[in-house]
Every structure is written in C-alpha cells, then in structure tokens.
Amino acid sequence: MDLGLQDKVYVVTGATRGLGLASARELLGDGAKVVLSGRTKQAVDAAVATLDAPGRVHGVVADNADPAAAQLLISAAQQTYGRLDGVLVSVGGPAAGTVLDSTEADWQHAFETVVLGALRIARAAAAALGEGGVIAFVLSTSVRQPVPGLGISNGLRPGLAMAAKSLADELGPRGIRVLGLLPGRIDTDRLRELDALGGDAGAARARAGATIPLGRYGTPEEFGRVAAFALSPAASYLTGIMIPVDGGALRSL
C-alpha cells in the first residue's frame, strides 16, 4: 500500500534513539523528509548519520522543555524543506519511582517536558499546518493502565492524552488530525534501563513478557511502522484516538 508519504515533511522530536529514531527511519523509508531533534549535537549528528538519507533528513538540537524549541522546530521544517505536513512529539519518559517517593522537583521537571513541552510544539504546529496535517503524540499504555514503578508517567500521560483528544475536536474543522500512540513494552534502551532497576533485568523481562499475549517485547521497527502509517495520508480518517502498540498487553478495549 502506498502511504502517500513521498516528499511530505515531518518533525520528529526525541528522535536520536528508540521510538523516535525508528519512526523517523520508517517515514524516510516511504519517501518523506524529516526534521529530527535531540538534546545534544553529538546525538543529533549521530542519528542523522545513522539514517543516511542525504537531503531528506535535517537535525536540530532542541529540548522539548525549552519554550523556544517549538517554534525552532517548526521554522526548521519550513525553512529547510518549504512545508510542514505533521509532527510526532516523542519525549523521554519521566524518572521512575512511586507517587510518594517522587519529589516535587521530579514532578515539575516531568510536567515541563512531558506536558507543557509537548503542548507548545502542538500549538506551534497547529498554527503552521494546513488541511491534511497531523499532530501525533508518543505517550504510553499508562494512559489507560498504571505501569508499576512509574508514578509520574501514570499521573501525567493520561492528562496529555485528554488534551490531545480535545485538540482533535478543535482542529478537526480545519482538516487537521490529532492522535496518540501508546507503546507498551518495546525493546528500547529506556525499557532495558527500567528492567534493570530491580537488579535482574532478565527476570524482569521474563515476568513482563509472560503478561503479553504475543509473549514478547515489541521492536522499535514495529512501533515505527505504526507511527508512519498514523502520520500518513493513508490514515486520513483517523483522529482523536489512542492507538496501543503493545502486543495485546492492555486488558481494556
């Protein structure tokens, strides 16, 4: 199936590794152009080199928590490629910990990055996008079901999902779609770090895998393909939804 991505232009934040990088790779593989961001020049340069798509990928050093990042990213797409068709807002996960053990500073930092940073980028994108544009948020299955040991994520991501749902209502009349992606246990560096917190990463992985109907962790490439489809014109009638990419782990409909 032709996703209709040829020469479309997308901003993908947090794209120097993991889910963001995999999503950028799939978009490029179907002919799109990508402006990717990361927090350090070294990481951004490495990601651009890894993707190996001369003329079709542009790196920007930007931290989603920085109020200037949103307009910087949108302007980079417009100035580099002359258009903007969508954004994929992917941010690093908040620090692990329980609700009670997490400090107020932990909550404040996560709110600035996960919620305010994402909404700034969404608002800047909304001002620049035309009919057919799309805004997608990489969230987590914690939107629907708490993840043990991730109290901050459990607290913040459902709120951002509901803001995305509201934004879909607001932007729908302009032909702009808004949706969320809910990765479950995808085999990224971040998840390996979380598995290792208890001291036995292998045992943690085995226990978690046993709760997934498909019996395994997903791969970043599997997530990236879903993201590329959701951002593409082929998904033109999908908006206001949260799409789990979790191997069936969520027990809700």
- CA 72 – CA 201 distance, rounded (Å): 38
DSSP 84-120: --EEEEE-PPPPPB-TTTS-HHHHHHHIIIIIIIHHH
What's the mean pLDDT in 176-200?
90
The reported pLDDT for the residue numbered 55 is 97
> Within 10 A of 186 (CB to CB), how many other CB atoms are there?
21
Q: Tell me, what's the pLDDT at 63?
A: 94
Summarize pLDDT for 107-145 with one digit per residue, the tens: 999 999 899 999 999 999 999 999 999 999 999 999 999
**37-52: pLDDT as tens digits:** 999 999 999 999 999 9
pLDDT of residue 179: 98
Give residue 253's pLDDT.
83
152-161: buried (b, 16+ CB within 10 Å) or exposed (e) per residue?
bbbbbbbebb
Instruction: Indicate if the pLDDT at residue 174 is higher than 80.
Output: yes
52: Cβ–Cβ under 8 A, 6 or more apart, which residues?
none
C-alpha span between 163 and 169 (Å, rounded)? 10
pLDDT on residue 95: 86
Render pLDDT for 210-225 as a digit per residue (tens, 0 to 9).
999 999 999 999 999 9
Confidence of residue 189 (pLDDT cuts 50, 70, 90): confident
pLDDT value for 190 = 85
Which range among 14-18, 62-66, 90-94 shows the weakest confidence by mean pLDDT? 90-94
204 pLDDT exceeds 90?
no
Q: pLDDT value at position 117? A: 95
Going from N- to C-terminal start, the domains of the chain cover 9-189+222-244
Examine the pLDDT at 34 and tell me if it is beyond 80: yes
Could you tell me the sign of the dihedral formed by the alpha carbons of 146, 188, 156, 122, in that order?
Answer: negative
Q: How many CA atoms lie within 13 A of 120 on its CB side?
A: 21
* HSE-up (13 A, CA, CB side) for residue 240: 10
Task: Tell me which residue of 173, 168, 170, 188 sits closest to 230, measured CA to CA.
Answer: 168
CATH superfamily label, 9-189+222-244: NAD(P)-binding Rossmann-like Domain (3.40.50.720)
Contacts for 152 with CB less than 8 Å, ≥ 6 apart: 94, 95, 97, 99, 102, 106, 107, 110
**Residue 11 contacts residue 74 (beta carbons within 8 Å):** yes
Q: For all residues of the chain together, what is the average pLDDT?
A: 95
